[in-house]
């Protein structure tokens, strides 16, 4: 039998930072292949000469392959972390109780109209116009949703497109559902906004 200290098994080569593809491409066939006389195994024993493994590790081809492997590993790890963060934020949004302020109808109308005037004065609200019943309902839903803006801190930690749009859509849906539950008269407007945003 061969001297075991001069050879390394594929598992030992992988522990040195090699991938299976790198072993196939850079080392090729094993130097020793056969059955292990000390134990029965279905797979044949494959050993690589340690000196040959070390010599290949000093080549530019190995350096290029290992840097490519490391870069793929980093991008995979970043993707796994981002996915975990996205799942945690979505779970937090689903679990967080949204507390809608309960106001008498006249007070809600007054605050919604004032909020609308402030938005219009800043140029963010669009055309003013009269307070028709339909527009007053829209203003009330808009005002109540603004009071729930503090829950947008649940979105912290999501950057770029890594689930941010999905989380924002889920949060808005939950906000509209909470408003509809607190103010049944506003439920049709909330349902209309949910339908618009789910397109």
**How does pLDDT run across 131-179, given as a tens digit for each residue?**
566 789 999 999 999 999 888 887 776 665 557 788 888 999 999 999 9
119 contact partners, CB below 8 Å, separation of at least 6: 125
Q: Which of 178, 12, 41 minimizes the C-alpha distance to 102?
A: 178
Residue 185 has pLDDT above 90, yes or no: yes
Residues in the chain: 199
Q: Can you tell me the distance from the alpha carbon of 179 to that of 92, in angstroms, rounded to the nearest whole number?
A: 19
161 contact partners, CB below 8 Å, separation of at least 6: none
pTM: predicted TM-score of the whole model, two decimal places: 0.56
- Percent of the chain past pLDDT 70, that is, above it, reads 78
Place 1 in a pLDDT band, splitting at 50, 70 and 90: very low
Residue 76 has pLDDT above 80, yes or no: no
Tokens 């059955």 correspond to 35
pLDDT on residue 6: 86
Which structure tokens are listed for 20? 């299976």
Residue 180 in contact with residue 145, Cβ under 8 Å?
Answer: no
pLDDT on residue 22: 84
Q: Is 5 left (phi over 0), alpha (psi -120 to 50) or beta?
A: alpha
More confident residue, 27 or 172: 172
Q: Are strands 32-34 and 7-8 parallel, antiparallel or unpaired?
A: unpaired
Count of CA atoms in the C-beta half-sphere (13 A) of 160 = 5
Q: Which of 179, 175, 174 minimizes the C-alpha distance to 102?
A: 179
25 contact partners, CB below 8 Å, separation of at least 6: 65
């Amino acid at each position: 039998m061969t001297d075991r200290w001069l050879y390394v098994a594929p598992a030992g080569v992988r522990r040195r930072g090699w991938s299976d593809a790198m072993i196939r491409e850079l080392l090729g066939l094993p130097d020793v292949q056969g059955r292990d006389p000390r134990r029965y195994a279905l797979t044949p024993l494959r050993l690589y000469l340690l000196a040959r493994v070390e010599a290949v590790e000093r080549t530019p081809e190995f350096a290029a392959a290992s840097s490519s492997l490391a870069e793929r590993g980093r991008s995979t790890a970043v993707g796994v972390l981002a996915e975990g963060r996205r799942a945690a934020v979505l779970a937090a949004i689903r679990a967080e109780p949204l507390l809608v302020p309960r106001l008498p109808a006249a007070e809600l109308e007054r605050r919604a109209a004032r909020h609308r005037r402030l938005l219009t004065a800043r140029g963010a609200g669009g055309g003013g116009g009269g307070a028709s019943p339909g527009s007053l309902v829209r203003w009330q839903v808009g005002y109540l949703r603004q009071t729930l803006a503090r829950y947008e801190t649940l979105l912290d930690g999501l950057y770029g497109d890594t689930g941010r749009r999905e989380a924002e859509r889920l949060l808005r849906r939950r906000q509209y559902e909470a408003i509809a539950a607190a103010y049944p008269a506003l439920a049709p407007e909330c349902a209309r906004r949910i339908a618009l945003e789910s397109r």
